[in-house]
Chains A and B, each alone.
Chain A
């Protein structure tokens, strides 16, 4: 009997298919919602709160894009993806963009046919150990049991690092961050390795975070950034420049507090004017209206604000800006000019 419901839904899906063969932008507009792939839950980056509302650093990028395209920061459908499902979800069109601390690598960009639009967090793989273990360097981890999330570049980095240093280890593969946390806290592994930001986020959720340290060795470069399907360059441009608008906003001093005032009328700084759409028409060039960047920034603030609110030093996660500071502040966050 129930086959009908399913077939009925299939028909509906088939009809939806007709519409989605068009460009991603039209597709998103027609749907009225942005489908954004995020992690299944990593506090600070993307995690549902007690009411099921998604929050975090990666989530803010999705919201900014939704605000720019759909004029509504809440018009986002968050699709939780695992290390295994994320790329298929993006390739198959189930999601429009992936903002799931995904490392930008050569093969992902080329062989897997995706476009990384930028780097929203410069990360590196580190090790978390309990202080009581008495280890001060990752090179002392000979023979240690290492908990590691499968399906990520961390796995390959780990193998490379231990091979390069000619020391042995015992990998304990785990599926989700929650499990890694459980195994690590129970002492089933001596150390937990993933991106340093993820470690900080995980440690923040511990009962006594101060009993654990992140070792100084960062064994890999992990530029994490949002990505889209290869081939739809218009859509890639929108996501890329929405992200850079957030970065540029911090550099220019546009904040969620003063954005109303700055965008009310054209000011002295022409670049601010161009970003906020009070001068020129950058919006039209990417197929949006002129206030797109204003809405994106207003959604959850500029890059710096998003950072401070979700993962900054005042949050339990407590990440320093480090590499992720603006280039003017000694970091490498650098938005190309809006011109």
Chain B
């Protein structure tokens, strides 16, 4: 009877009805993301118009692009008044843009191979979980192999350089039980003595297993940017760690040496340091010494980046809770042990994003060497290529190419660092 009083009772479930069209799929997405309010709609329309204009005005430039032509005039003839890019300059001067105009063309494979090996060497460092740890041995050998490939000459030079490192490492491991600081200095001194002595061996035997030597001033193009970037970052990491530890040290003299060095380097623009490399450094070396510009530049850029990296690592050290230091002490570890086993692994982990930022910044700053008449990629573009009568006036294609090269590299590195940051996040969120 109660049932009779109800007009309608549903006895089974209705099938699910689709949401209103305004709340699904593309329409919903559009409403939420592009036209959520009148102001937003206006913003969307304006940006869409801007994007449209950019695409419309640059598309013919790419589509009509000329990829084969010996010179700008020939290229303009092919284009016949149409708008289009003369990308032929890239194909024509490809090798110059990458290797500079003096690196012997039959030897291009050597830097090429070094570049490929760089990935193999970097892989176990970058993706430690995927690649076997044994590959790290190759990473350790890589600098010497790359040096030999790029500069050529006798194989003895890199071999003795490697032996010098081993001598240094051995000295360090023997002295470190006494004092970490003394050990570092002793290691440097031992390696230096070994190198100076080995110079007497490699000097006369310069033709042992020699491949054709290439002088540094023959190098150029994007190769220089990569070389300076890789070399200076890897050199400045250990230096930066030492400087950071020194700045944290309780010994006032050590601390002040490091503070003055770091603050001085960070306070001046890189270009003034390059001026030093270019015009001043020669005054401070023994009379008659001259090592080539590239080496001087490497010294100055390494000093520059090690100061920045030191500050990043110092931030990492400072971020560690005091308890970690105390824990190390209470276990009875000495300074070197507690640093190696407890503090640095954690501090470096926190510092990775900062270090990568410094590395990317440094890699971009390697273009500054063009100001001191080195022919890196920017120097090649501004100098020999734009000055040549064939390609005088091709700006956008060349600068665009340089932009693309740098963008790919730097964006890739920063994406990697973000990935790594997620990987290393061991706290629970």
Listed in ascending order, the chain A residues whose CB lies under 8 Å from chain B are: 1-17, 20-21, 40-41, 43, 47-48, 52, 77, 79-82, 84-85, 88, 91-94, 175-179, 181-182, 185, 204-205, 207
Contact = CB atoms under 8 A, between A and B. Distances in A.
Contact of B383 (A13, A41, A94, A185): A41
A85 B144 contact: no
Interface string B141-179: 011100100000000011011101100000000000000
B161 A85 contact: no
A88 B287 contact: no
Contacts, number: 150
Given A4-B143, A8-B195, A93 B290 contact: yes
B328 interface: no
| B interface SS class | helix
A2 B301 CA distance: 14
A92 B290 CA distance: 7
Given A178-B386, A182-B386, 7 more contacts: A3-B235, A15-B203, A79-B217, A91-B282, A94-B290, A177-B387, A185-B393
Nearest to A42: B387
A176 B199 contact: no
Nearest to B100: A52
B392 A181 contact: yes
A182 B383 CA distance: 12
A10 B387 contact: no
Interface string B226-268: 0000110011001100000000000000000000000000000
Contacts of B142: 1
Given A1-B140, A2-B231, A5-B144, A12 B392 contact: no
B202 interface: yes
Interface string B121-147: 000000000000000000110111001
B271 interface: no
Contacts of A40: 373, 383
A94 B281 CA distance: 12
B110 interface: no
Contacts of B200: 15
B367 interface: no
B382 A179 contact: yes
A7 B162 CA distance: 11
18 contacts: A5-B143, A6-B231, A6-B295, A6-B299, A8-B147, A8-B161, A8-B195, A13-B290, A14-B199, A21-B288, A41-B383, A52-B102, A79-B217, A84-B279, A92-B290, A177-B387, A179-B382, A205-B387
A16 B206 CA distance: 13
